[in-house]
Amino acid sequence: MSVRGSLRSYLPWLARDWALEKAPLPTLVGLAFGYLTVASVMSFAGNDPARLASMAPRFFSQVMDAVIWFAAVASATGVAATDRERGTVRFLFSKPIDPASYYLAQWCVAGAGTLLLAGLGAALLRAAGIHGSLLGTLGAMASAWLLLGGVGFLVNQLINRDGVLYVALIVISFVSRSEAASAVLPRWVTKGGVALLPLNELDRVRQALYQSDAPLTHDLVHVLAYGAVAFVAGLLVLQRRALAR
C-alpha cells in the first residue's frame, strides 16, 4: 500500500501561514518607512517634477531595501527550527510526506510571498510619485531571497534557535566586509570574511536592478551561487540529521 500526502493541495495553507506569521513585520516596516519617505520627498520637492524625478531613485531604493531586507530575514528564520522546537514535526512527519519536499515547498511559498510584498511596495511608491523599476525590484527581491533565504534554510536545519545565529552571520558579514573593517582589522580577518555572505555584491546587484541596469555578472553569480550552495547544504543536513531533536 502506498499513500502520499498532497503538498500541492497544502500550498494554500503554507501561503496562509506565511501571510499571517511572516508578512506583517515587513509590511508594517514598509508602510511606515514608505509613508515617512513619501512625506519628506513631497515636502522637499514640492510641485517641482524635475526635483522629484532627481530624488526619486535614491528614496525608492531606500524604502525597497528596507522592505526586501525585512521580508527576507523574517521569512527565512524560524521555519523548520520552530517545527522542531514546538514538536509539530511529530504530527507532520508521521504523515506520508517527504520532509525535504515539505520544506522546499515552504521555502518556495515564502519566496513567492516576498516577491509579492516587494511588488506591492514598489507599486505603492510609484502610485505616490516615487518611480523605480517594478521588474528590477522583483529581480532585487529574488536575488536577495536566493541568498538570504538559502542561508536561512541552512541555518534553520542546523540549530533550533536559528534567529540569533542567522542575524549574527549577517552582522559579521556586513562588518568584516566593510571598508572601515579593512582599515582596522588584520588582513587575515578581512580575507577570511570573503567566505561570509556576499552582502556587498548583493547590494550592488540590487542597486543596479532598481535602475533597470544589468548587474555585474560576477556579482550576480557570486550571490546566486552562494545562496544555492547554502540551500543545497541545508537539504543535505535535513536528510542526514534527525528530524526531532
Which stretch, 7-15, 64-72, 178-186, 228-236, contacts other proteins (CB under 8 A)? 7-15
Cα–Cα nearest to 102, from 169, 14, 227: 14
Cβ of residue 148: shortest distance to other proteins, in angstroms?
Answer: 24
Number of shown-chain residues binding other proteins (CB under 8 A): 26
The 3-class SS string of 71-109 reads: HHHHHHCCCHHHHHHHCHHHHHCCCCCCHHHHHHHHHHH
Burial class (CB in 10 A: 0-12, 13-18, 19+), 183: exposed
Residues in 91-110 at the binding interface with other proteins, rule: CB under 8 A: 91-98
Of the ranges 84-92, 117-125, 203-211, 229-237, which one interacts with other proteins (CB under 8 A)?
84-92
Q: Does 235 contact other proteins by CB under 8 A?
A: no
Q: Which of 51, 58, 86, 161 binds other proteins (CB under 8 A)?
A: 86
Question: What residues from 151 to 210 belong to the interface with other proteins (CB under 8 A)?
Answer: none
Q: CB-hemisphere CA count at 13 Å for 208?
A: 14
Q: In the complex with other proteins, which residue's Cβ is closer, 46 or 96?
A: 96
Regarding 3 and contact with other proteins (CB under 8 A), the answer is yes
User: Coil, strand or helix: which one is 232?
Assistant: helix
Output the CA–CA distances (angstroms, integers) from residue 35 to 128, 167, 210, in the order listed: 9, 27, 19
10 binds other proteins (CB under 8 A): yes
- Is residue 35 part of the contact set for other proteins (CB under 8 A)? no
